[in-house]
Amino acid sequence: MRPFSYTNAKNKEQALQNFTKTSHYLGGGTNLVDLMKEDVERPDQLIEVASLDYKQISKNNEGGYTLGGMLSNSETANHPDIRQNYPLLSMAMLSAATAQIRNMATNAGNLLQRTRCPYFFETSMPCNKREPGSGCGAKDGMNALHAIFGYSEKCIATHPSDMCVALAAMDAKVEVQKTDGSSRTIDFTDFHRLPGNQPEKDNTLEPGELITAIHLDEPKFSDHYYYLKIRERSSYAFALVSVAAGLQIKSGVITKAGLAMGGVAHKPWKFTDVEKYLEGKKPNKVNFKAAAEMAMQDAKPFEGNKYKVEMAKKAIIRALTQAFEREA
């Protein structure tokens, strides 16, 4: 047990002013507390932010909705406006973890959860993410669950979130408060990082920045959507691969597509080129198969996770097919 101080912030100003380089914000604690128990995270101070007043879901100026950063995953996924307008997001969120964890986990915290790579959790093993410069144990070790896109020599870990895969497909934006009192908005595809030479950095947040909201554009995939999660057991497990697929179809033609995968990279992996390819095409198996082949053309698997390439192709075809055939 390592000693740490605890501050229950009453407002965002108090949270931001109390933050130091050895602090962590505490939301639901569903990931951070586990990491502290395993001695992976060692903060000197926890700043409680779960009670801050960012718990609303409201309409925004873009014709979409804004999700409060401190709202729980359960409250978000089951909110009638989200279920009706963003069923892809609701479906992805409800596939994650357990009901008890979703009741505790916050939207902001979901974005910040860390990899579940076993080498990251096991402090006796080398891991550049946990201890920069120590090496990547997974690269030449057990890598069946690891990345096939965007990895580096330093790290081949994957991002674990389901919610984030749907947000990537939907082109969400993240609003953060800075320590100087100002705010900024980050495109979701720019929020998480690839490992590069600094795998210890999961995202593009500056020290002390606090996530307060997630902005969703005008609904586009409320009729044709599907979240497919393939895992080793049917519940309470992280994805081997997952696919968030959304289609906007008019007069038998795809006018807008959203496609992203989880379990394949250090961040939710969005297929922008494949989305553009699908737009203007008819929603049929031929085009869906071509999209899957296009999506996997740059995959570079390891010995232990070669299966992910074929699995991902079939998952993309299935998710797009289900999205086309499904109507809310």
Does residue 243 fall inside a structural domain?
yes
Indicate the number of domains in the chain: 1
Identify the band that residue 328 occupies on the pLDDT scale cut at 50, 70 and 90. Answer: very low
The pLDDT score that the predictor gives to residue 55 is: 97
Assess whether pLDDT exceeds 80 at residue 109. Answer: yes
Does residue 258 fall inside a structural domain?
yes
The domain that holds 303 is classified in CATH as 3.30.390.50
Percent of the chain with pLDDT over 90: 98
Does residue 254 fall inside a structural domain?
yes
Does residue 149 fall inside a structural domain?
no
Assess whether pLDDT exceeds 80 at residue 327. Answer: no
The pLDDT score that the predictor gives to residue 236 is: 85
pLDDT tens-digit readout, 1-30: 899 999 999 999 999 999 999 999 999 999
Judge whether 109 and 47 are in contact, CB under 8 Å. no
User: How many Cβ atoms from other residues are within 10 Å of residue 75's Cβ?
Assistant: 17
Does residue 182 fall inside a structural domain?
no
Q: Distance between CA 162 and CA 152 in Å, rounded?
A: 23
Q: Give the structural domain span for 244.
A: 224-325
Tokens at 75, concatenated: 């409250």
Assess whether pLDDT exceeds 90 at residue 46. Answer: yes
The pLDDT score that the predictor gives to residue 1 is: 83
Percent of the chain with pLDDT over 70: 99
Q: Which of 296, 227, 278, 210 is nearest to 87 (CA)?
A: 227
Does residue 319 fall inside a structural domain?
yes
Model confidence, pTM? 0.97
Does residue 267 fall inside a structural domain?
yes
The pLDDT score that the predictor gives to residue 33 is: 97
Does residue 69 fall inside a structural domain?
no
Q: How many helices (H) and strands (E) does the chain have?
A: 13, 12
